[in-house]
Structure 1
Amino acid sequence: MWKMIIGIILWFGVVPSLAGTLVLSFWKRHDDRLAECIITGYLLMFAICQIIAIPMIFLEIHFSTFCRILAAIYMITSILGFLKGGKWFVGMIWELFRNLTHHAWTVYAAVAAVLVQAYYYVQYMVTNLDDAYYVAVATTAIETDTMYRFSPYTGRAVTGFNLRYCLSPFSMLQAFFSQCLGVHPSTLDHTIMAPVMVIVAYFVYISMGRLLFSEKSMAGEKKESREKMIGLFLVFLSMVHVTSYYCMRNQGSVLLVRIWQGKATLAAVLIPFLFYHCYRMAQKPWEKGNTVILVMAAFACCLVSSMGIVLPMVMMGIFALLFGVFQKNGRYVAKMAAGCVPGILYGILYVALKALKLW
């Protein structure tokens, strides 16, 4: 039990935090906080998995080899993050604990609401037909030491690859975490990864709140007033989410019912982050590193779902029109175009492999 708890803290807390520290330490952006650090870390982890998993799948590399390489890269990234920005990261943690009892009441209400939503994933479990594929793919990879070479429905060897899923191998990342923690993929998805992703989603909304209620937008207001508004913003979002189960396919529903699935992670975490980040790039064009984070987010979207290859490009295209073309800002258009590169590459790869009938 303690071994699993330590593993959860390591792989879902320490590693992404230090990975985000490594990325953000290159630019010293004054308003980046712990939430931005953790989000950036998850983006980097997802992007690394996407980049190395695709060639290894098509080269039919063993799943165990994939796990060892991915673990080594994550550990190296974490160590470099600690060496380069450890002092900054420890300072953020110290500031968090020092001010733990000096926040507006709305902040504590928001934290309570988020923790209750995360707790329900631990206490209860909701399954649907998609589990028959996504969880089974991860289980099959572990049991056969292969990646997408056996049918998760029948267990029989397949003659080709299902490109729709192979180009977005989020299940392989879940199988990797399952191996690291020593738990079944079903336990990982429903009980561990789901509440973690809920908290990460609200980290994105915290970043949104800080941007919407920034010092510039609330000039003359005290820090306590801005903090109170951010807390109210999160409480309002929580109310929207918990009353969203009138449809199975809206953002609030997938956040609180099946966020462990790749397309739900896309809808609840990555698309909201892209919305926030593209708007931030328009509001703070002088910031360094935004294009790198945008490209990482695009790779992360490609990892979680095949829809993540196309939908982010549509969003970035809309932002390019609104804040680039309409405002005659060519630099912003170029940044949005750079963010579309991962989706374009994987889209071309999909079309080429389908046309050539190689898989």
Structure 2
Amino acid sequence: MIAKVLITFGVLFAAPFCMGLLPVRFMPGEEQKKDPLAVYLAGFLLSLAVFQIIAVPVILIMPWGFPRIVILYSIALVVLSAVGLIAGRTVLNELVAEGKVLWDRRSRFSVETFIYWLIAVGLIVFQIYMAYTHAFFDGDDAYYVAQSVIADQSNVLYRILPYTGLTTTVDVRHALATLPIWEAYLARISGIHPAIIAHSLLPLIFIPVTYLFYFQIGKRLLKKDCRKLAVFMILVSVLQIFGNTSIYTNSTFFLMRTWQGKSMLCNMVLLAVLWCLLSLWDNRGEAKEEKQTGWWIVLCAVNMTAAMATTMGAFLTGLLIAVVGLVIAVRDKRPQVLPKLAASCIPCILYLAVYMVLV
């Protein structure tokens, strides 16, 4: 049991952090290199993108290929984590040094700012607690969670209809979005039932990660003003808590259907796109332009993660990147950014091409 807990911790936390050291090493400035949250978020997106790259070919070629996915993805996590640790050791040293500096300055916040942050953290913890203790049933569970159960228990990938139990050809409409298979992978390595993974474990991961993206975006928009950033996080939390005005709002999906790809796309992936684009927009000097390789890697990973969440995600993220890219090119007179943004969408284009051919 302890071994499975350690393996699960490694897959969800340790491996993403180690993988994130690699792209952060190629980001401009020292800000990201000294931010462990940015390192983890970059690695988390990379780990999901790698799963999508591995899982889609196996799903299309091997009907009983789930064990192959488990083996290949586990090897990929180990190898990429080792590469990240080796290539990003300077970033790791800077993180340790920055941690010591922050500890020495731990009393720099005013009482007012501390209270604001206490409220913000309390609201986030409250949402996590409610999502964990009040597992909401949804009709889509009959398909998506059932596909995770089928993959974990029979190793079959999208060749059994969850509604009837009958065999069928590969379900292309859903098979290219591999989030249910990722949930089955977590179930296989942890020994926890896939339904528990979806309803209980994933809210503990996706809700905090989503708020980390809000935190990173707030830092960009508010110029790292701690007091304003705390108020921003409180406002976002309140909007999410009281956002259940219909069954279609992103707040409803965020807190009641956290484990579904649609929720992951609209609440986490689109925020990741904005985070990347804001960072690329801020770094506008010629010297910095040459050092943005890390952000382009992360943006490509975001595109793959969008496709992992839902088939429409590949189109929607590409559309968002195109619109924001045009604004950047016109406002800042930077037409040279358009080919790079288009290149970051190549994974989405290839994914949609495969979908159109199979359909």
- Distance (Å, rounded) in 2 between the aligned partners of 1:96 and 1:303: 37
Asked if the contact 1:174/1:189 (under 8 Å) is kept, the reply is yes
What residue is the counterpart of 2:69 in the other structure? 66
Please list the CA deviations of residues 44-71 of structure 1 after superposition, one character each: whole Å capped at 9, or x if unmatched.
0111011111111111152111101101
Asked if the contact 1:316/1:339 (under 8 Å) is kept, the reply is no
For structure 2, the 5+ residue unaligned runs are none
2:191 pairs with 182, 197, 201, which one? 182
- Distance (Å, rounded) in 1 between the aligned partners of 2:154 and 2:98: 43
Q: 1:101, CA displacement in angstroms?
A: 6.1
Asked if the contact 1:197/1:259 (under 8 Å) is kept, the reply is yes
In the alignment, does 2:177 pair up with 1:168? yes
TM-score, reference length from structure 2: 0.89
Residue identity matched to 2:345 = C
- Distance (Å, rounded) in 1 between the aligned partners of 2:263 and 2:45: 16
Please list the CA deviations of residues 255-299 of structure 1 after superposition, one character each: whole Å capped at 9, or x if unmatched.
111111111011110111212321321222325122221111111
Q: Report how many residues are paired.
A: 343
2:317 pairs with 312, 318, 336, which one? 312
- Of 37-46 and 334-343, deviating more is 334-343
- Distance (Å, rounded) in 2 between the aligned partners of 1:26 and 1:280: 13
- Of 63-72 and 316-325, deviating more is 316-325
- Of 270-279 and 93-102, deviating more is 93-102
For structure 1, the 5+ residue unaligned runs are 216-225, 355-359
Asked if the contact 1:136/1:152 (under 8 Å) is kept, the reply is yes
Q: 1:29, CA displacement in angstroms?
A: 3.8
In the alignment, does 2:215 pair up with 1:206? yes
What residue is the counterpart of 1:121 in the other structure? 131
Q: How does 1:1-359 map to 2 (within 5 A)?
A: 2-3=2-3, 5-27=5-27, 29-32=29-32, 33-60=35-62, 62-84=65-87, 85=89, 86-91=92-97, 103=109, 104-105=113-114, 106-158=116-168, 160-214=169-223, 226-285=225-284, 286=288, 287-288=291-292, 289-325=294-330, 327-354=332-359
Q: 1:209, CA displacement in angstroms?
A: 1.0
Q: 1:313, CA displacement in angstroms?
A: 1.2
Question: Residues 29 and 165 of structure 1: is their aligned pair in 2 closer, same or farther, counting only changes over 3 Å?
Answer: farther
TM-score, reference length from structure 1: 0.89
Asked if the contact 2:147/2:162 (under 8 Å) is kept, the reply is yes
Residue identity matched to 2:14 = V
Asked if the contact 2:16/2:43 (under 8 Å) is kept, the reply is yes
Residue identity matched to 2:155 = D
Asked if the contact 1:325/1:333 (under 8 Å) is kept, the reply is no
